[in-house]
């Protein structure tokens, strides 16, 4: 059984989904209280509070094992991007021997948004895409990058 929880971020509610051992298996940058009835574990509330207050820069959380080998390779490259920095889809593609569109597709499948910081992956010029956050995804990506000190 999965346990969805809600966290009130500065840009709106975040949904975190845990398994029965309280392992984080998904983080979505949107949510509704009626879809997340369980209390958020204190350790994750503290981590998110620290991130949004600027005290925590990187979550240092393992990537998801749910994806393909290729997706996991992309997610690991994303997890290695330090706060306050960005890489382009092309940068990551070169790093792992792939194509920017394939990297973008894997970014869109990242189940641990924010924790594996796909918001730090941008286009050659501008923000690029972002599949987290429903209709306000690009506004959330922009907010997160500004919060981390990146001006795009």
pLDDT in tens, 81-92: 999 999 999 999
pTM of the predicted structure, to 2 decimals: 0.93
26 and 112 Cβ atoms separated by less than 8 Å:
yes
**Cα separation of 63 and 1, whole Å?**
21
Supply the DSSP string of 98-148, one letter for each residue: --HHHHHHHHHT-SBTTTS-GGGEE-SSS-----SSGGGHHHHHHHHHHHT
Confidence of residue 27 (pLDDT cuts 50, 70, 90): very high
Confidence of residue 133 (pLDDT cuts 50, 70, 90): low
Confidence of residue 140 (pLDDT cuts 50, 70, 90): very high
* pLDDT at res. 129: 81
Give the residue numbers annotated as catalytic, written as ranges: 118
* pLDDT at res. 28: 94
């Amino acid at each position: 059984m999965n346990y969805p929880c809600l966290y009130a971020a500065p840009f709106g509610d975040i949904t975190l989904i845990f398994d029965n051992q309280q392992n984080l298996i998904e983080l979505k940058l949107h949510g509704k209280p009626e879809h997340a009835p369980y209390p958020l574990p204190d350790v994750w509330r503290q981590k998110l509070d620290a991130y949004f207050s600027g005290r925590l820069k990187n979550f240092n959380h393992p990537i998801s094992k749910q994806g393909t080998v290729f997706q996991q390779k992309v997610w690991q490259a994303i997890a290695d991007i330090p706060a306050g920095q960005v890489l382009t889809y092309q940068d990551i593609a070169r790093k792992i021997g792939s194509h920017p569109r394939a990297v973008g597709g894997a970014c869109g499948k990242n189940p641990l948004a924010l924790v594996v910081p796909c918001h730090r992956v941008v286009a050659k010029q501008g923000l690029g895409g972002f599949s987290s956050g429903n209709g306000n995804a690009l506004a959330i990506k922009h907010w997160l990058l500004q919060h981390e000190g990146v001006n795009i």
